Amino acid sequence: MATHRTTDLAPYLTGPAYAIGLLFVLMPALDTFAQMWPPALGEPAWRYGTVGIGANYLISALFGMLLMCLVAGLRQHRRTLRVLAIVNGVLAVVLLLAALGFALDVLQVRMGVPKDNARAMWLFKAGAAKAELKYLVSVVVLGWLALASRRAWRAIQPQASDEEPKLVRSSKAGG
């Protein structure tokens, strides 16, 4: 009777795990864009709403990135870790810029909130603070994940196929 070790099963789950991680990243972005279409980049209220709605989906995107990084690390996919490190770093910068822009949009949109309605002002301030916090925490986590992915990628020993250009490898095989 043949037995399988759990490590023998990992290759079968790698592709689906990457796909699920990618869905956790892409679906929230699609949901945000679908809710805020058509774009009105010149309107502070539209930007405020878009970034605010996007804040609700950040945890899903973070989970997807973590899942893909974990799979790449466990399977020792050096190139994938390298790409994910870059993507996480770029996303951290983009989210930081979004958080800074959101803070400016909050100041502009705040003028439209009725000052005589204390509850409306409190809800506006609380919602803005919560969204800003989500973005800033996500920036830190994505930056940390980028650094961890970079360290993991550098810790994995390159294989011969990673070091040699394909033309060199194919010429050795042919001759």
Cβ–Cβ under 8 Å, residues 105 and 47: yes
Q: Quick check: 88 and 80 in contact, CB under 8 A?
A: no
Q: How far apart are CA 73 and CA 87, in angstroms?
A: 15
d(Cα 107, Cα 72) in Å, to the nearest integer? 42
Residue 163 has pLDDT above 80, yes or no: no
Distance CA 18, CA 22 (A): 6
Above pLDDT 90, what percent of the chain? Answer: 80
pLDDT at 98 over 70: yes
Entry field: residues in the chain: 175
Please give the average per-residue pLDDT across 1-26, as a whole number. Answer: 82
Q: Whole-angstrom Cα distance, residue 138 to residue 61?
A: 10
Mean pLDDT, the chain, integer = 89
As a whole number of Å, the end-to-end CA separation of the chain is: 43
